[in-house]
Structure 1
Amino acid sequence: MAAYIFKRLLLMLPTLFGVLLLTFVVIQFVPGGPVEQMVAQLQGRDSGGEGAAASGAGYRGRQGLDPQRIEEIKAFYGFDKPAPERFWRMLKSFAQFDLGQSFYQRKGVWELIKEKMPVSISLGLWTFFISYLIAVPLGVAKAVRAGSRFDFVTTLIVLVGYAIPGFVLGVALLVVFGGQLQWFPLRGLVSSNWEQMSWGARIVDYLWHITLPVTAMVLGSFAVTAMLTKNSFLEEIRKQYVLTARAKGLDERRVLWKHVFRNALIPIITGFPAAFIGAFFTGSLLIETLFSLDGLGLLSYESVIRRDYPVVLGTLFFFTLIGLVTKLLSDLSYVLVDPRVKFD
C-alpha cells in the first residue's frame, strides 16, 4: 500500500501542473483583465473631469493613457514579465502554499478562503449528513419492499426531486416560505444582531437561516445515494450466502442487518470521503448567490467575473488538491472496508 500511495502522490503533480497550465493559458486570451479594467477606469475618470472639459485641454479618455502609465499599471499587477516567467513564479509560490494576494480585495487568497469557509462548511455538513441519514434507510426500505407500491411511489418522488435543479427549488422556497408566508429569512447565514444574542438564541437563529438553502441542496443530492443503496442491497440479497443463512433458520432481521447490510454498504462507505469533501465545494454556487451566502462558491464566481486572477488560480489550486487527495482517500477506504482488495 505504501508504494501505491507514493505512486498516487507522484501522479498528483502532473495533474496539478496540467490544470494550472491550462487555466493560465486560457487566462492570457480572456479580455477585460485587471490592466484593461484599470486603463478603462482611468480613461473614464479623466474624460469625465469637468475642469478638462471646460478648458478644452487634456480629454485623455479619447487620446488614451501615456505608454509609461500603462507600463506602470502592468508592473503593479505583475504583467510586465513574460507569461512563462509569471507562470513559473506562480508555481514556486504554490509549492510553498503561498496563494498570493487578491488584486481588488487587498487580502491574501488564503485569508479570503478562511473567511468564506464557514459558510461552505455549514452548507456542506448539513447537506451531507441529512442526505445520508435519509438516503441509506430509504434505500434499505426500498430494497426490502422492492416492487411494492412503496417502492414505486418513493422512486417517483426521488426521481422528481432529482430532476428539479436546486436553484429552481430554492427560488420556489424563497417565494413561498420567504416572501409570501415570511416564515424564513431571505438572505444571510445569521441575523445582523447575532452577536448580541444568547447561545440558545444564536443556535435557533442559525438553524432558521440555514433551513431553506439546505433544503434546496438536499432534495436532489440524496437521490443517487438512495438508489445506489437499494441496488446494492438487492444485489447482495440474491447471493448464495444469504440463501444459506436463511436455510440455517436465522431471523430475517439478523440476516438483513448483520450479513447483507455490511456487504451492501461497501460502495456507499467508500464514497464517503468524496461526498463529504465535495459537499463543501460543489453545487453551492447558485444556492450561495440566491440566498446571499458569502461562501467559497460565490468567491470563485466573483473572482472570475472581476478577473481577479490570483484568487481564480489560488482557489483552483486549492480545490484541485483537495479533490485529488479525496480521490486517494476514497480508493484507500476500499481496503479499510474490504480487506480482500489488493492494490497490486
Structure 2
Amino acid sequence: MLRYLLQRLFLMLPTLLGVLLVTFLVIQFVPGGPVEQMMYELKGRGSGEVAMATTQSTGSLYQGARGVDAERLAEIKALYGFDKPAHVRFFEMLGRFARFDLGQSWRHHADVWTLIKSKLPVSMSIGLTSFFLAYLIAVPLGVAKAVRHGSRFDLISTLIIMAGYAIPGFVLGVALLVLFGGGSFWQVFPLRGLTSDNWADLTLMGKLMDYLWHLVLPVTAMTVGSFASLTMLTKNTFLEEIRKQYVMTARAKGLSERRIFWKHIFRNALIPLLVGLPEAFLAAFFTGSILIETLFSLDGLGLLSYESILRRDYPVVLGSLYFFTLLGLVGKLVSDLCYALVDPRVSFEGAQ
C-alpha cells in the first residue's frame, strides 16, 4: 500500500505540470491580453473595441501600441511581468505554486487565494446542498428501481429522470425563474442572490430559513442533471449484484429475500458508490456553475473563473486551475484508497 501511495504521489507531479504547461502555452497565444487592454484604456478606447482590435493583430507588435510611446509600453509590460521571456515566467510561476503562493489578481488587486476563499461560501453552499440531495434521493430511488425492475414504477421513474437529464441546467433555471421567481406566474422564491435585503435584521433561525429559501431554485437547477446519472448507476449496480451466482446460492440455502438483500447484495453493491463518494464530496466544495451563478446573480467561483478568462486575469486563471487540479488529483487518490478499504478483495501490493 505504501509503495502504491508513493507511486501515485510521484505521478501527480507530471500530470499537474502538464496541465499548467498546456494552459500557460495557450495563454501566450490568446489575443487581447492585459498589456493590450491597458494600452487601449490609456488611449481612451472602450473595452468593447479591444477584442475587435486584437483580431487584427499581426506580428509581435501590438496594434494597440500605436500612439503609446515605447517607455510607457515597457512600463506596462513590466507591471504585468511580460518584460521577461515566457519560460522565465513559467518557472517563476512554478516556484510560487510550490510554496502555495497563487499570486496577485491584476483586476481585483488582491491575493488569488483570498479571492477564492471569498467566493467559496457561495459555491460551497450550492455544491454541498446538491451533493447531499442527489445522494439522499438518487440512491434510495435507484435501489427501489432495481428491486422493481421492469415494473410500471421503474418505467415511469426512468422516463421522468431521463427527461430531467435531457434538460440543461440553465434552461431549467430559466423555466424555474419564469414559473416561481415572479417572471410571468408566481412570486414564490427570490429572484437573485442568497440573502434578502433585511438579512442583518433577521434572527438566527430567520437567517437560516432565508438562506435556504434562496438556495431552492439554483440547487434544483443544478441537481436535476447529476441526479439522473447517479440513480441509474445505483440501479445498474444493484441489478448486477442481484443476478450474480452467490445470490442464487443464498436462495437455494433457504435464506430470506430480506436477509439476502441487506446482508449480501446491499453491502457489495454500495462499493462503487462509496468509492466515488470522497472525490464527489471534495468536488462539491468547489462546484461552480458559470451559467447557474450568472442566472441567479450568485458571486461564486464559477462566475469568478468566467470573468477572469474574459478579463485575461491570468494569475486567477492559473492559480485557481492549479489549486483545483491538485485537489482533483488528491480526491482521485483518496477514492482509490477507499476502494481497497471497503473491498478486501482489492490489493495494491502488486501494483507497479
TM-score range with shorter-chain normalisation? over 0.9
Q: Separation in 1 of the partners of 2:254 and 2:204?
A: 54
State the secondary structure of the residue aligned to 2:75.
helix
Q: Separation in 1 of the partners of 2:316 and 2:65?
A: 32
**Matched letter for residue 240 of structure 1:** Q
- Residue 275 (structure 1) shift: 1.7
Q: Separation in 1 of the partners of 2:160 and 2:66?
A: 63
State the secondary structure of the residue aligned to 2:298.
coil
- Residue 245 (structure 1) shift: 2.1
- Residue 158 (structure 1) shift: 1.1
Equivalent pairs, count: 330
**Matched letter for residue 103 of structure 1:** W
Cross-structure match for 1:338: 343
**Matched letter for residue 238 of structure 2:** F
Q: Does 1:277 align with 2:316?
A: no
Cross-structure match for 1:31: 31
Question: In the TM superposition, what whole-angstrom CA distance separates every residue of 1:271-329 from its partner, at most 9, and x where no partner exists?
Answer: 11222222344462211111111111111111000000000000000111011111111
CA RMSD in angstroms comes to 1.5
Structure 2 counterparts to residues 75-154 of structure 1, below 5 A? 75-154=78-157
Question: In the TM superposition, what whole-angstrom CA distance separates every residue of 1:175-204 from its partner, at most 9, and x where no partner exists?
Answer: 110023110111111123312211010011
Q: Does 1:157 align with 2:160?
A: yes
The 3 A distance-change label for structure 1 pair 63 and 167 is closer
Pick which of 85-94 and 184-193 moved more. 184-193
- Residue 63 (structure 1) shift: 5.7
The 3 A distance-change label for structure 1 pair 68 and 340 is same
Contact 2:127 2:288 in 1 (8 A): no
Q: Does 1:256 align with 2:261?
A: yes
- Residue 257 (structure 1) shift: 1.5
Q: Separation in 2 of the partners of 1:246 and 1:336?
A: 28
- Residue 251 (structure 1) shift: 2.4
Cross-structure match for 1:66: 69
Cross-structure match for 2:330: 325
Contact 2:286 2:301 in 1 (8 A): yes
State the secondary structure of the residue aligned to 2:43.
helix
- Identify the match of residue 222 of structure 1 among 220, 223, 227: 227
Structure 1's consecutive aligned runs of 4 or more residues displaced over 6 angstroms after TM superposition are none
**Matched letter for residue 117 of structure 1:** L
Q: TM-score, normalised by structure 1?
A: 0.93
- Mind listing any 5+ residue stretches in structure 1 that lack a counterpart? 47-60
Q: TM-score, normalised by structure 2?
A: 0.91
**Matched letter for residue 138 of structure 2:** A
Cross-structure match for 1:241: 246
Q: Percent identity?
A: 70
Q: Separation in 2 of the partners of 1:164 and 1:309?
A: 33
- Residue 44 (structure 1) shift: 1.3
**Matched letter for residue 169 of structure 1:** L
- Mind listing any 5+ residue stretches in structure 2 that lack a counterpart? 47-63
Structure 2 counterparts to residues 166-315 of structure 1, below 5 A? 166-179=169-182, 180-282=185-287, 284-315=289-320
Q: Does 1:11 align with 2:16?
A: no
Q: Separation in 2 of the partners of 1:244 and 1:23?
A: 55
State the secondary structure of the residue aligned to 1:339.
coil
Pick which of 68-77 and 37-46 moved more. 37-46
Q: Separation in 2 of the partners of 1:284 and 1:300?
A: 10
Q: Separation in 2 of the partners of 1:297 and 1:218?
A: 16
